[in-house]
Amino acid sequence: MKAVCWEGRKSVSVETVPDPSILNPKDAIVRVTSTAICGSDLHLYGGYVPAMKKGDILGHEFMGEVVEVGSAVTRLRLGDRVVVPFAISCGACYYCQQGLSSLCDDSNPNAWMAEKAAGYSGAGLFGYSHIYGGYAGGQAEYVRVPFADVGPLQVPDGIPDEQALFLSDIFPTGYAAAESCDVRPGDTIAVWGCGPVGQFAIRSCFLLGAERVLAIDSVPERLKMAKSGGAETIDETVLDVLDELSVRTGGRGPDACIDAVGMEAHDGISGIYDRVKQAARLETDRPIALRQAIQACGKGGVVSIPGVYVGVVDKLPIGAAFAKGLTFKMGQTHVHRAMKPLLDRIQRGEIDPSFVVTHRLSLEEAPEAYSKFARKEDGCVKVVLKPGVSVS
């Protein structure tokens, strides 16, 4: 089969690799009909996530048709159309039983690696380095899905791929980030980063009853998309973000702040400082958006962090967070429990997730797609790759 393989820093290629096969009776094989490139794939592309190996198959946002099932699979049937969550969960361990599926204790065979970094390991992830299990990802024609009765969600025929695909990650991730803000009617929420997760966070804040969302970014197309989702926008290249947030909230600050940027934020003097520290390996993540979010947040507010961090950061204003009594919520989304309720919202017409798609390409075009997405060129917000479809 054809698959998108990581070759090294800023390098991916489409290779012919062996088809996946059933390794465990609880596995299924899915023929991928649509797959997307995620902002967090860019952390792999940029070489910021350790324990990637040349030839690793990328991709954790995918859907398709079940073409093979192991002998212990009872819920999925051949021919089912499914969307698959990015985190792999057993459904039976202490954490899965509590609905904390991204913290599954049983799905990361390389838990020892994550334990070294974090004390305890979260769930295995598709296509996301050997720290998270070394599972082959879904930017491929076929993919092996472990614990097939637990994760994949059957998609009704009336829902096109582009509406269902983002249930794999960015829609639940944006939604959970908004949910973490404990939105009350009348609330104003600020969102850093108008990439795909930021876009879903903005719309989810409104679904949950926020009155205003203030969206911060520097890319005109992304700000435009945020605006069409109902947000008031702040172009950080033109305006002073902290001043602007204070003025626009009557001097009180946002009720909650969402950092949908994560570790590769860049800007201004502190951006240069972080780049130097990162290059010198004194710091692994650049927390510019997070610093601003803490500084901007109103008293008693929530800082919600769906943006990915992997290591340590420097100069975090913990004193400001303490002084204002802030609450922090973060981590990989417990995507399993979010998928069905969000599919229901799609079916009720409350949201059409396909709004975020700006580029539709064949699997073979993945190398150009990664480069374009990484540089935010050509208005690129979200790329969908269609395996088995020839060049567009």
Stretches 81-89, 315-323, 354-362, 373-381: which one binds Zn ion (CB under 5 A)? 81-89
90 near Zn ion, judged by CB under 5 A: yes
CB of 60 to Zn ion, least distance (A): 5
12 near Zn ion, judged by CB under 5 A: no
Q: Which is nearer to Zn ion, 89 or 292 (CB)?
A: 89
Stretches 12-20, 30-38, 250-258, 302-310: which one binds Zn ion (CB under 5 A)? 30-38
Ramachandran category for residue 91: left, alpha or beta (phi over 0 → left; psi -120 to 50 → alpha): left
CB of 166 to Zn ion, least distance (A): 9
Q: Which is nearer to Zn ion, 29 or 90 (CB)?
A: 90
Q: Which is nearer to Zn ion, 129 or 188 (CB)?
A: 129
Q: Which is nearer to Zn ion, 38 or 76 (CB)?
A: 38
256 near Zn ion, judged by CB under 5 A: no
109 near Zn ion, judged by CB under 5 A: no
385 near Zn ion, judged by CB under 5 A: no
104 near Zn ion, judged by CB under 5 A: yes
SS3 sequence, the chain? Answer: CEEEEEEECCEEEEEECCCCCCCCCCCEEEEEEEEEECHHHHHHHCCCCCCCCCCCECCCEEEEEEEEECCCCCCCCCCCEEEECCEECCCCCHHHHCCCHHHCCCCCCCHHHHHHHHCCCCCEEECCCHHHCCECCCCECEEEECCCCCCCEECCCCCCHHHHHHHHCHHHHHHHHHHCCCCCCCCEEEEECCCHHHHHHHHHHHHCCCCEEEEEECCHHHHHHHHHCCCEEEECCCCCHHHHHHHHCCCCCCCEEEECCCCECCCHHHHHHHHHHHHCCCCCCECHHHHHHHHHCCCCCEEEECCCCCCCCCCCCHHHHHHCCCEEEECCCCHHHHHHHHHHHHHCCCCCHHHHCCEEEEHHHHHHHHHHHHCCHHHCCCEEEECCCCCC
CB of 105 to Zn ion, least distance (A): 5
Cα–Cα nearest to 296, from 261, 260, 247: 247
Site size toward Zn ion (CB under 5 A) is 9
Query: Binding residue for Zn ion (CB under 5 A) from 3, 63, 96, 288?
Result: 96
169 near Zn ion, judged by CB under 5 A: yes
Stretches 71-79, 138-146, 164-172, 231-239: which one binds Zn ion (CB under 5 A)? 164-172
56 near Zn ion, judged by CB under 5 A: no
Q: Which is nearer to Zn ion, 308 or 361 (CB)?
A: 308
Query: Binding residue for Zn ion (CB under 5 A) from 93, 207, 357, 374?
Result: 93
CB of 376 to Zn ion, least distance (A): 17
381 near Zn ion, judged by CB under 5 A: no
106 near Zn ion, judged by CB under 5 A: yes
CB of 200 to Zn ion, least distance (A): 11
365 near Zn ion, judged by CB under 5 A: no
Which residues contribute to the site for Zn ion (CB under 5 A)?
38, 40, 89-90, 93, 96, 104, 106, 169
